[in-house]
Structure 1
Amino acid sequence: MAMLLSRRFVLAWLVSFFSGLAYFLFVHFPRYLEGMGADEAEIGRIAAATVLAALLIRPMVGRAMDRRGRRPVILVGNAAHVLALLLYLTVHSIGPWLYVVRFIHGFSEALLFAAIFTFAADIIPEERRTEGLALFGVSGLLPVAVGGVLGDVILAHSDFTALFGAAIVLGTIALLLALPLRESVELAPMERHPSFLACLTQRDLLPLWWITFVFSFALTAYFTFLRTYVDETGIGSVGAFFAAYASTAIALRVFAGWLPDRIGLKRVLYPAMLTLGSGFVALSVSHSDLTVTLAGVLCGAGHGYVFPILFALVFGRASASSRGTAAVIFTGMWDVGVVTGAPLLGAVVTRFGYEAMFQTAAIAVGIGLLSFAFWDRDLRIPRRGSNYTRVTPATYSPGHDVGDPVTEPSQ
């Protein structure tokens, strides 16, 4: 069996972990904004501004990765991340400067997230791609758990200046660890690369863009608003929720990350999305700390499988020369979900309350998943002469049986 834990894999994992830990300390940032007078709608707009910045730069990031390689983008992204973290020390009020700093933070996130995961996907053996991405994704999930708890500890003993200082140190460590990374792909300067638009509109990728958007839209409910929900209702703990969330997702990836490759990606994707939706239902009816923690377990179980499965499907359907661009669009769909979800769900909170907001997220998951099933032809019965084909196990994902009815449409 091909080895996963190579030196480059481990080094890239550490870069992702430390940059992610710096980033997820900002799960507490809404409290800082509240202290400066921002309400939920304003917090949503500020979050959306960060993501809008990431969206604007993503087409250039995709071209750079496909034409110049992954390593330069990782280095520039880490440097921009450290700069943004330093600038937070100069933010003391809601105003234009805050939005400038958030834009820079968004630019760095766009560079880092897409490049480091594309780098990992390049070096993971194809027959173990989903398992490898699941393990690599632990580097992004651990910060979710540790970032929430670490932020709680820092703010219990100090203030946001200390929180920003800790983020600066972590971001700098990530930058230093990225320096020895070697390029993950061999570049062919004369090779023709599909355009951003061609990749965006590729027929068999469209359903994946849609379900990725739905996934990220729903996640905005707790990544953006859980802090203020806990503060206003007094129910639950941000640290406990994200600790349960990340612990569950990590456990699934470490001990059962092989499952999608073994039984088929779609056979795991649908139950995982439904589990995520049930987590939002639990949050909407929560009246105790235990229920909030249980919701973290359910949401973490869903996230644990959904992200690596979707990325593996995207990487498998994209051509080798456009995988950088495809990864950028995939991560960009997360940004689109946030840039729409943050203000819309924030408006729901302002007008109807947190219960209605979490119910809205659950409904979005259900409707989005059902429409994806029809769009990707999983709910249609294969007929002779239809757009289905018997595939070999390696066509899109290792582990699909020949003739598997839950498979991919032919190109």
Structure 2
Amino acid sequence: MPREPLLTRPFLLAFVAHLMHAMAFHLYLHLPGYLKLQGAGEDRIGIIYGVTAATAIVARPALGRAIDRRGTRPVILGGGLLATLSCALYLTVHGIGPWTYVVRIVHGVSEAMLFASLFALAAEVVPASRRIEGIALFGVSGMLPMAFGGLLGDLILARAPYSALFITAAVLSAVGLLVSLPLPAPVLHTDRPPSRGFVAALVQRDLLPLWFVGISFAIVVVAPSTFLKTYVMARGTGSVGGFFAAYALTAVGLRIVLGSLPERIGPKRVLIPGFFLLAGGLGLLATDPEPLVLLLAGVLCGVGHGYGFPIVLGLVVTRAPASERGAALSIYTALFDGGMLLGGPLLGAIIRAAGYREMFTLTMLIAVVGTLIFALWDRQVMRPAA
């Protein structure tokens, strides 16, 4: 019997839209370098990113309600318009002041809208029998920009000022908005029971271990995404673009070639070893690595991210009631803003007080301990259901 198709028209439109928005977003892997040139230290950079994340978290309950009640398309279009505007506003940031925070807040809200709604759409249009594989494949549209966004940023900044980076990001976001326009109008399921709301999804018993491992994962990925740029600048060796290319291409390769593995052998049998490999990559970053070892660290982190994000998201979609998937996915994507909110200032302060090695060592330990706690907790929670 042939398997149900993944590559439908709505899936492909959403894939390209997400690709463009994510490419624009990942150009901002280089933003810490710009903030440092404007006089911000690592602790201030962490606070700036943390404020952005806090705003996105505050917006999530409203986004979850909007997705569950109105569908994904209005949120995707609104988020695309706001993302284009926020990228253009970086051209007006000169120095570190209140306006810097305003621009980052607008950017954070747009990212929250796009991240939650595009993945909610992907979860809707992929067949339930291939959900993790479909979400993993859709996630390639976010991982490729991680690879090429960093490299594109390297190329732009080698030849032009940061203003060229911001203009490029605005153009890419505008293309993502245009691609979103033909998305079909949402189908509202009036036959479903009403959503119990954001709080009910937050405290649902079998989702709690997923929220825990999600926030642990989110905190540790803050370390390279926020501070690798300044780490490389301080060491004077290594490539931000090279690390994220190795990271993202590894994740993409796994999702394309072995994307069905979690559904064949069991999601947690892939998830837990993947997170341990992520911890190994962070441990390598703590060794003051040479350029080749830095690339290996990117590969290990890419394995953990390549499997971790879609598997946990797939488990969230499977366990959440259909009428509350928008709320549940808003919570899941909010965890990554929460990771930035908690991890950005904390890790920046550790760098300031002790150094980069100590910061990366701490994130390695968080990854290991968080994975072990999740494995035991989820086994206990799911045992009665089994």
What TM-score, normalized by structure 1, do the two folds share?
Answer: 0.92
- Residues 374-403 of structure 1, C-alpha deviation per residue, up to 9 Å, x if partnerless? 21126x9xxxxxx625xxxxxxxxxxxxxx
Contact 1:11-1:181 within 8 A present in 2 as well = yes
Counterpart Cα distance in 2 of 1:185 and 1:214: 34
Residue type of the partner of 1:28? H
Match of 1:201 in 2: 203
Tell me the amino acid that sits aligned with residue 159 of structure 2: H
Q: What per-residue deviation string (whole Å, max 9, x for no partner) do you get for residues 209-258 of structure 1?
A: 01000001000000000000000012311010001001100000000001
- Per-residue deviation, 1:371: 1.2
Counterpart in 2 of 1:395?
none
Q: CA deviation at 1:277?
A: 0.3
Counterparts of 1:20-39 in structure 2, within 5 Å, are 20-39=22-41
The equivalent of 2:288 in structure 1 is: 286
> Which residue pairs with 2:145 in the alignment?
143
**Alpha-carbon distance between aligned partners in 2 of 1:95 and 1:286, rounded to the nearest angstrom:** 33
C-alpha separation in 1, matches of 2:5 and 2:379:
34
Give the deviation of 1:34 after TM superposition. Answer: 0.5
| Superposed displacement of residue 8, structure 1 | 1.0
Residues 259, 190 of structure 1: CA spacing in aligned structure 2 closer, same or farther, 3 A cutoff?
A: closer
Kept in 1, the 8 Å contact 2:150–2:240? The answer is yes
Residue 388 of structure 1 is matched in structure 2 by 383
Residue 273 of structure 1 contacts residue 302 of structure 1 at CA under 8 Å; is this kept in 2?
A: yes
- 2-structure distance, mates of 1:195, 1:121: 19
1:2-21 Cα deviation digits (max 9, x unpaired): 00011111110000000000
Please give the per-residue CA displacement for 1:182-228, whole angstroms capped at 9, x wherever unaligned.
14543329851111111100111011001000001000000000000
Separation of aligned partners in 2, 1:28 and 1:190: 44
Q: Which residue of 1 aligns with 2:314?
A: 312
Correspondence for 1:406:
none
CA contact (8 A) 1:68 1:187 kept: no
- Kindly provide the amino acid, as one letter, of the partner of residue 338 in structure 1: M
State yes or no: 1:163 paired with 2:158.
no
Report the equivalent of 1:13.
15
Q: 1:342 offset after TM fit, Å? A: 0.5
Distance of aligned partners of 1:49 and 1:213 in 2 relative to their CA distance in 1, 3 Å threshold: same
Which amino acid in 1 is paired with 2:346? L
Per-residue CA shift, 1:28-74, capped at 9, x if unaligned? 00010011100000000001111111001100000000001111000
Aligned 8 A contact 1:235 1:287 in 2: no
Unaligned runs of 5+ residues in structure 1 are 381-386, 390-408
Identical-residue share of aligned pairs (%): 49
Given residue 208 of structure 1, which amino acid in structure 2 is its aligned partner? L
1:178 aligns with 2:173: no
* 1:81 aligns to 2:83 (yes or no): yes
Residue 358 of structure 1 and its aligned partner are, at CA, apart by: 0.5
Partner of 1:40: 42
Give the distance between the partners of 2:289 and 2:68, measured in 1 at CA.
49
Post-superposition offset of 1:287 = 3.1
1:5-404 map, 5 Å: 5-188=7-190, 191-377=193-379, 388=383
Is the contact between residue 33 and residue 230 of structure 2 (CA under 8 Å) also seen in structure 1? yes
The structure with the greater share of residues assigned to helix is: 2
SS in structure 2 opposite 1:166?
Answer: helix
For 2:120 and 2:357, the matched residues in 1 are separated by 37
Distance (whole Å) between structure 1 residues aligned to residue 370 and residue 248 of structure 2: 24
Once the two structures are superposed, what CA deviation does each residue of 1:156-202 show, in whole Å capped at 9, x if it has no partner?
00001100000010000000000010145433298511111111001
Q: Is the 8 A contact 1:200 1:206 kept in 2?
A: yes
Letter in 1 for 2:276: L
How many residues matched? 384
- Higher relative contact order at CA 8 Å, sep ≥6: structure 1 or structure 2? 2
* Matching residue's letter, 1:105: H
TM-score normalised by L of structure 2: 0.97
Contact kept in structure 1, 2:70 and 2:186, CA below 8 Å: no
Which runs of 5 or more residues in structure 2 are unaligned? none
1:294-348 deviations in whole A, cap 9, x for unaligned?
0000000110000010000000000000000000000011111110001111111
